[in-house]
Amino acid sequence: MFNWYMLAALAALPAAAPAQAPVSVPAGEPLILAFGDSLTAGYGLGRGLGFAPQLEDALRRHGIKAHVHDAGVSGDTTSGGRQRLGWTLDGLPRKPDLAIVELGANDMLRGVDPAVTEANLDAMLSELQRREIPVLLAGMLAAPNLSPSYRRRFEAIYPTLARKYDATLYPFFLQGVAGNRALALPDGVHPNFEGVKRVVTGILPTVQRALARVSRRAAA
């Protein structure tokens, strides 16, 4: 069973700068923004082993020459994400074709009111919509030791906002990884290389569908 108490280490991590500097992206090749916390940033892993580079490699193996920009910040909350989204987007070489938003776990572990988490995510999705950037919203489940009321309110945030903004929803970012210690670092919390590989394998079809949706809209 997944140790949600140890997952509190996510919330204890100090905020750090995004791991990857912007690079030039050839015209015609999709640019994906991976905007999240330590799960996106590849905490504890070497260069090229985290979520963004593994997703980029997986897409290229499937014939999609996309560039995935790592904008994960370890320890980040939705409040932090809301504050940095604008300058993160402004610092990219061009507007992303897709933004993967993976935030909220640290809010939940700190007991932040789900209404605050929802308001922050709502503001981020609103800004992305204003800039006409399609979104893939990666959800998170609440720890089972929290009250049923809190869990219901927190877990409802992601499908509610996905419907509101017509975003693609991936219900649980750690699907297939949570609870399997063989896929975790020694801290028992963060995915190791194989764990990130499993995350990428799980989310890849959703990313492919989101990119295909972007292409259809561009051709319409």
Distances (CA, A) of 115 to 103, 152, 180: 14, 12, 31
Catalytic residue among 37, 70, 76, 190: 190
Catalytic residue among 38, 67, 74, 107: 38
What values do phi and psi take at 35, rounded to 5?
A: -115, 110
Q: Please say if 38 is a catalytic residue.
A: yes
Instruction: Report the Cα–Cα distance between both ends of the chain, in Å, rounded.
Output: 46
Write the secondary structure of 83-144 as one string of H (helix), E (strand) and C (coil): HHHHHHHHCCCCCCCEEEEECCHHHHHCCCCHHHHHHHHHHHHHHHHHCCCCEEEECCCCCC
What values do phi and psi take at 184, rounded to 5?
A: -115, 155
Task: Give residues with Cβ within 8 angstroms of 204, minimum separation 6.
Answer: 55, 58, 59, 62
Q: Please say if 74 is a catalytic residue.
A: no
Distance (Å, rounded) from C-alpha 63 to C-alpha 85?
Answer: 29
Q: Please say if 187 is a catalytic residue.
A: yes
> How is residue 14 written in tokens?
């100090």
Catalytic residue among 57, 79, 122, 187: 187
Report the catalytic residues.
38, 187, 190
